[in-house]
Amino acid sequence: MEMNDNKRRRNMILYVLIAFAVYLVLSNVLFPSMRYQQKITETDYTTLVDALDKKEVDKVEYNTDSYEILWTKKGEGDDVAYKTTGMPNDSGFTDRVVDAGAALTSVVPDRDSGLWVYYLITVFGPLIIFVLLGWWLNRRMKKAMGDDNPSMDFSGGFGGLGGGGLGKSGARIVASKDVGVTFKDVAGQEEAKESLKEVVDFLENPQRYEEIGAKLPRGALLVGPPGTGKTLLAKAVAGEAGVPFFSISGSEFVEMFVGRGAAKVRDLFKQAKEKAPCIVFIDEIDTIGKKRDGGGFSGNDEREQTLNQLLTEMDGFDNQKGIVVLAATNRPDSLDPALLRPGRFDRRVPVELPDLTGRKAILELHSKDVKIQPPIDLTAIARATPGASGADLANIINEGALRAVRLGRKRATQEDFEESVEVVIAGQQRKSTVLSDHEKQVVSYHEIGHAIVAASQSDGAPVTKITIVPRTSGALGYTMQVEQDEKFLTTRQEVLNKLAVYCGGRAAEELIFGEMTTGAANDIEQATKLARNMVTRFGMSEEFGMMALGTVQNAYLNQDTSLTCAPGTAERVDEVVKRIIEEAHASALQTLRENKFKLHELAHYLYKKETITGEEFMTLMRRENPFQPPQAQQ
Ligand code: ADP
Ligand code: MG
Ligand code: ZN
């Protein structure tokens, strides 16, 4: 009972605080001129044009209704603004701004803010907001925390409104003439580039396509995991074709006022038509293009209106003008099918995680900007980073350079990059965590357990590094295995081998200390996931055979599967998974028993050295030990 009261009081306070914050932000946004009262200088249009010609202008905020222009100069910051009214009907205005290299923001005008509206809003506005908020919080509390949360919509809109600088209340349409990126800046995405070359060609020679009567896709959807270079590719298309690039992010559409999103889309396309040929890029399109489902809070209505407007605009423009709409998403399966219909985003450009050669190309590209100390073997780094995205790889190079600086060197070495692979993939080395002596021993045995099981398999990936230096990610040590070649198919035996390797750490602890520790938590998680996939997705169990028992929820993000079978079956799946893991565990334990002597020897070695290479490990593993008792004894 008491708990409940406390909770309610806390919610009450939260509610009042949020409402107050919303009110402050709203009053700021609805009457933006108040923000600049002291610092605004009135100028006429020729002054602005002069400043533009001299390329002195930094940002331009342009009200599409009243033709009022607020602008700032480079080097003066956002505090000093100029206001230009009475702009003549100059259709070349957008050109001027873009040519001057200034950032252009169009403001979609607020509703008529006459005096009575002012009163209505100041008097009833807070009231309405309070009521709505109360209702929203109530609804949120009823819903179990964390399910498809409307709070996301809310905070999104909130953040959008609070975003700083000019154009607080308007659409942020970013136009730039020269994006400074071409296909040369995108490495390893050859197929994606190939299919986008056609778009470039279309933008360069629209008449050629017109003459023959060919219809080009109006839109292309770049689909792939985060960090693979989708945004980069879209910019590169504009850069290659030398056309303006209008970009807007889907998350910015999610706003509080119904109708604003749709107005932004209208405005975006209006500007694009003026500047055609050009690229319109909609990043994170899944935020507005989610599958429409009936019934919902106003957030959904808003999204739906925005989506409808986008569809209307895409159907409406004259394709021969040369507007190509590119969009990016990492959740293609959640998109509304209407977006994928012919004449809209009917072309899909997969932007996948790079393979070995792709990774090497990306590393090479990014290492060009860094001073390096030869010899550098980027192939080795590419080999050690399967599953890394382009952004990860760019990060690895940068972290390597940072490490060189930290160590007071002028050039980055191979060691820097190798270390940064671990930083990016396993978290920073955590020098401050001090393990007790006993803990260090346990971790040594645990890691060598993994390594020995891996090494005893005939064609497993070789162990390349073992360390017991803790990482900030929380891992106390780890054993790195690197495949010789890129692998696309995995056999059942290989999956079983991998499971045994996962079990090797815990098995070693049990064998030597007769005790379990929490250190195996991550291994257990990985092993369970793998075993479950064997049963539900790979058809690798005798019990179920080739029966799909689950669907992958999001192919690009985490491969999480949800079961699609009867509850009774789910129970049996659990049993099979349990059995598979038990068998893997038993096999790992058996291997370690047979190699107990090596386990001791190697664990002591690791304990002393903390980090050992794959070669050191293999040499010791193969070495005849002079003190080893004759065979058969263990
Ligand atoms: P996405 O939009 O797919 O999430 P981005 O285009 O924003 O990914 O990529 C982020 C950064 O990662 C880029 O700015 C670039 O530095 C780097 N990057 C990603 N993919 C590549 C690639 N294929 N070639 C070169 N750099 C890349
Ligand atoms: Mg992106
Ligand atoms: Zn482990």
Answer yes or no: is pLDDT of 168 > 50.
no
CB atoms within 10 A of CB 293: 9
Answer yes or no: is pLDDT of 130 > 80.
no
- Closest ligand to C-alpha of residue 388 is 1
Answer yes or no: is pLDDT of 628 > 60.
no
| Spacing, Cα 628 to ligand 3 middle (Å) | 27
* Lookup: tokens for 14: 């939260």
- pLDDT, average across residues 299-321: 73
Backbone φ and ψ for 62, nearest 5 degrees, come out as -125, 120
Residue 618 shares a structural domain with residue 583:
yes
Residue 274 shares a structural domain with residue 407:
no
User: What is the CATH number for 64?
Assistant: 3.30.720.210
Residue 73 shares a structural domain with residue 96:
yes
With a 6 Å cutoff on the Cβ, whether 187 touches ligand 1 is yes
628 within some domain: no
Residue 11 shares a structural domain with residue 126:
yes
Residue 601 shares a structural domain with residue 483:
yes
Residue 130 shares a structural domain with residue 48:
no
Model pLDDT, residue 472: 56
Model pLDDT, residue 633: 39
With a 6 Å cutoff on the Cβ, whether 360 touches ligand 1 is no
Report d(CA 359, CA 230) in Å as an integer: 16
| Spacing, Cα 551 to ligand 3 middle (Å) | 28
* Lookup: tokens for 111: 């509703």
Answer yes or no: is pLDDT of 588 > 90.
yes
Answer yes or no: is pLDDT of 180 > 50.
yes
Q: Please, what's the largest Cα pairwise distance for the chain?
A: 99
With a 6 Å cutoff on the Cβ, whether 358 touches ligand 1 is no
Reply yes or no on whether 274 is catalytic.
Answer: no
- Closest ligand to C-alpha of residue 448 is 3
Report d(CA 130, CA 623) in Å as an integer: 76
Residue 421 shares a structural domain with residue 468:
no
List CB-based neighbours of ion ligand 3 within 5 Å: 505, 523
| Total tally of structural domains belonging to the chain | 5
pLDDT in tens, 506-533: 999 999 999 999 989 989 999 999 999 9
Report d(CA 385, CA 392) in Å as an integer: 9
Answer yes or no: is pLDDT of 94 > 80.
no
Instruction: Indicate the top mutation candidate among 228, 352, 356, 393 to test ligand 1's pocket, ranked by most ligand atoms within 8 A of CB.
Output: 228
Residue 577 burial by Cβ neighbours in a 10 Å radius (0-12, 13-18, 19+) = buried
E strands, 278-392, are 278-283, 323-329, 347-350
Report d(CA 277, CA 267) in Å as an integer: 16
CA of 351, closest atom in ligand 1: 3
- Greater confidence, 430 or 423? 423
CA of 232, closest atom in ligand 1: 6
Answer yes or no: is pLDDT of 34 > 80.
no
Per-residue CA distances from 322 to 79, 215, 216, 280, 347 (Å): 39, 11, 10, 11, 16
Please state which of the ranges 81-90, 137-146, 225-234 shows the lowest mean pLDDT: 137-146
Residue 239 shares a structural domain with residue 326:
yes
* Lookup: tokens for 18: 């949020």
- pLDDT, average across residues 332-337: 78
Among 294-298, 396-400, 420-424, name the most confident range: 396-400
Answer yes or no: is pLDDT of 99 > 90.
no
Backbone φ and ψ for 191, nearest 5 degrees, come out as -65, -40
Backbone φ and ψ for 233, nearest 5 degrees, come out as -65, -45
Q: Tell me the percentage of the chain whose pLDDT exceeds 70.
A: 74
Answer yes or no: is pLDDT of 239 > 50.
yes
Please state which of the ranges 162-166, 268-272, 360-364, 552-556 shows the lowest mean pLDDT: 162-166
CB atoms within 10 A of CB 396: 29
8-state DSSP, 292: P
Answer yes or no: is pLDDT of 2 > 70.
no
Residue 189 shares a structural domain with residue 334:
yes
Model pLDDT, residue 118: 64
Average pLDDT, the chain: 77
- pLDDT, average across residues 152-163: 28
Report d(CA 496, CA 488) in Å as an integer: 17
CA of 365, closest atom in ligand 1: 25
Contact in structure between 51 and 57 (CB atoms under 8 Å): yes
CA of 233, closest atom in ligand 1: 6
Catalytic one among 302, 304, 447, 601?
A: 447
| Spacing, Cα 284 to ligand 2 middle (Å) | 7
Answer yes or no: is pLDDT of 580 > 50.
yes
Residue 600 shares a structural domain with residue 492:
yes
Residue 104 shares a structural domain with residue 227:
no
What pTM was computed for the model? 0.58
Confidence of residue 590 (pLDDT cuts 50, 70, 90): very high
518 within some domain: yes
Confidence of residue 153 (pLDDT cuts 50, 70, 90): very low
User: What is the CATH number for 306?
Assistant: 3.40.50.300
CA nearest ligand 1 atom 17, residue: 391
CA of 224, closest atom in ligand 1: 3
With a 6 Å cutoff on the Cβ, whether 230 touches ligand 1 is yes
Dihedral of the alpha carbons of 308, 313, 314, 320, in degrees to the nearest 10:
170
In the three-class reduction of DSSP (H, G, I as helix; E, B as strand; rest coil), residue 515 is classed as: coil
Say which residue the tokens 């349409």 belong to: 173
Per-residue CA distances from 80 to 74, 131, 168, 284 (Å): 10, 38, 16, 33
522 within some domain: yes
- Closest ligand to C-alpha of residue 330 is 1
Last residue of a domain, one of 70, 90, 109: 109
> Which residues, in sequence order, are bridge partners of residue 59?
72, 103
Answer yes or no: is pLDDT of 206 > 80.
no
In the three-class reduction of DSSP (H, G, I as helix; E, B as strand; rest coil), residue 489 is classed as: coil
User: What is the CATH number for 376?
Assistant: 1.10.8.60
241 within some domain: yes
Residue 392 burial by Cβ neighbours in a 10 Å radius (0-12, 13-18, 19+) = buried
pLDDT in tens, 274-308: 877 888 898 888 887 776 554 444 456 667 777 88
Last residue of a domain, one of 382, 404, 425: 425
Report d(CA 388, CA 354) in Å as an integer: 8
Confidence of residue 550 (pLDDT cuts 50, 70, 90): confident
- Closest ligand to C-alpha of residue 504 is 3
| Spacing, Cα 315 to ligand 3 middle (Å) | 55
The answer for residues whose C-beta is within 8 angstroms of residue 245's C-beta and 6 or more apart is 175, 176, 179, 234, 235, 238, 239, 278, 279, 281
pLDDT in tens, 242-256: 888 888 887 776 654
Report d(CA 205, CA 309) in Å as an integer: 29
pLDDT in tens, 100-114: 877 777 765 544 445
With a 6 Å cutoff on the Cβ, whether 226 touches ligand 1 is yes
264 within some domain: yes
Last residue of a domain, one of 163, 197, 227: 163
Please state which of the ranges 72-76, 357-361, 378-382, 566-570 shows the lowest mean pLDDT: 72-76
- pLDDT, average across residues 7-22: 74
413 within some domain: yes
| Spacing, Cα 365 to ligand 1 middle (Å) | 12
Residue 468 shares a structural domain with residue 577:
yes
With a 6 Å cutoff on the Cβ, whether 390 touches ligand 1 is yes
CA nearest to 534, candidates 571, 490, 475, 501: 490
With a 6 Å cutoff on the Cβ, whether 249 touches ligand 1 is no
pLDDT in tens, 439-468: 889 999 999 999 999 999 887 788 888 888
14 within some domain: yes
Confidence of residue 425 (pLDDT cuts 50, 70, 90): confident
| Spacing, Cα 537 to ligand 1 middle (Å) | 31
CA of 189, closest atom in ligand 1: 23
pLDDT in tens, 48-76: 888 888 888 888 887 766 667 888 888 77
Model pLDDT, residue 504: 95
CA of 225, closest atom in ligand 1: 3
In the three-class reduction of DSSP (H, G, I as helix; E, B as strand; rest coil), residue 179 is classed as: coil
6 within some domain: yes
Model pLDDT, residue 169: 30
Helix ranges, 230-292 (H):
230-241, 250-253, 260-275, 286-289
Model pLDDT, residue 432: 52
| Spacing, Cα 186 to ligand 1 middle (Å) | 8
Report d(CA 42, CA 85) in Å as an integer: 8
Report d(CA 173, CA 80) in Å as an integer: 22
With a 6 Å cutoff on the Cβ, whether 424 touches ligand 1 is no
- Closest ligand to C-alpha of residue 226 is 1
* Lookup: tokens for 384: 């050690």
User: What is the CATH number for 530?
Assistant: 1.20.58.760
Report d(CA 477, CA 467) in Å as an integer: 5
Q: Tell me the percentage of the chain whose pLDDT exceeds 90.
A: 18
Instruction: Indicate the top mutation candidate among 183, 232, 329 to test ligand 1's pocket, ranked by most ligand atoms within 8 A of CB.
Output: 232
pLDDT in tens, 256-266: 455 677 788 88
Confidence of residue 597 (pLDDT cuts 50, 70, 90): very high
| Spacing, Cα 490 to ligand 1 middle (Å) | 28
Answer yes or no: is pLDDT of 587 > 90.
yes
Range of the domain at 74: 36-109
